[in-house]
Amino acid sequence: MSGWPGLQWFRNIVLVSSNQDQYVPFDSARIQLCMEAISDPKGQHYIQMCYNLMHEVKAKIVYRLDVDFSIEAK
């Protein structure tokens, strides 16, 4: 699915990630390569996914925002 068209249609892109997210890995939410993927032979699939998503992007602005939530313990 990462090879399907989509992101190239946008002029501005905002990717939001959080280290507190327990569902989507931080680097994956940012569509950003991480050292684990680069150094791991099995990481080639992740590298290819990032390439597929970003290689045709012609956006003038791509923001990668890191968000942390102040969550009180119950």
pLDDT at residue 3, as a whole number = 86
Residue 44 counted as domain residue: yes
pLDDT of 73 > 80? The answer is no
pLDDT at residue 71, as a whole number = 78
Q: Average pLDDT in the 17-28 region?
A: 92
Q: Average pLDDT in the 45-51 region?
A: 94
Q: With contact defined as beta carbons under 8 Å apart, do 14 and 63 qualify? A: yes
Residue 32 counted as domain residue: yes
* Cα 55 versus chain centre, distance: 13
Q: Average pLDDT in the 14-25 region?
A: 93
Residue 46 counted as domain residue: yes
Q: Which domain holds residue 21?
A: 7-66
Tokens for 49, please give them. 């996914």
